[in-house]
Structure 1
């Protein structure tokens, strides 16, 4: 982000090659509405600090709901990070999140286990999404 113009160029080149990109940890740190306007990304990853208590905090729910509307209006998917239980996942789905990521879906695991998990059966009510652990490695279904 030290050179935003170069960043836009690299992301545009990656997109041209078919690589999908995300703006990670949206809502914290260096993320900004200006990025949504200028960076050619495919999705936003909403930081867990905004999703963790979304079922109990009406202000958090309002932020998530309107961020989802903004993301969709810009043609972006919204990924909710930090989904630790099914109730939170359902609340986030209802508020407009497209993808859930967190321990409620899967825990970190080796690639071979991930491939088996990916091919395995899904239980009703579980978000159909792939999660990654803090290390960036794929995560299994609990």
Structure 2
């Protein structure tokens, strides 16, 4: 007999299961001063893509989304601390910050209006030679 439509009996990633995993990840990141999320996920036997799945699925669940942000902040803080203490390669740290934490070392300015280029309409009026000075 098939289950009712929309049932969640076989759902693996429930709020509580994810919270338990996130707590273990946070403890690992904090205890081992991890600077890369994939290491923490691998330590639990998980794959990197699960992080994006959790962020999407539990976006509206404050408890989960706050813990995810806390983990990401802790990883970033660990990386910056190591960098400032000359415990890691600066180029590698910058690469991770730019690619995994959406940081940038340049300012990007949108020179358009709502995604559309500016249009300048100028009407120029020129005097003809006959309208010029009478000298």
Higher helix share: 2
In our comparison, the structure showing a higher alpha carbon Rg is: 2
**Same fold (TM > 0.5):** no
TM-score (norm 1): 0.26
Higher strand share: 1
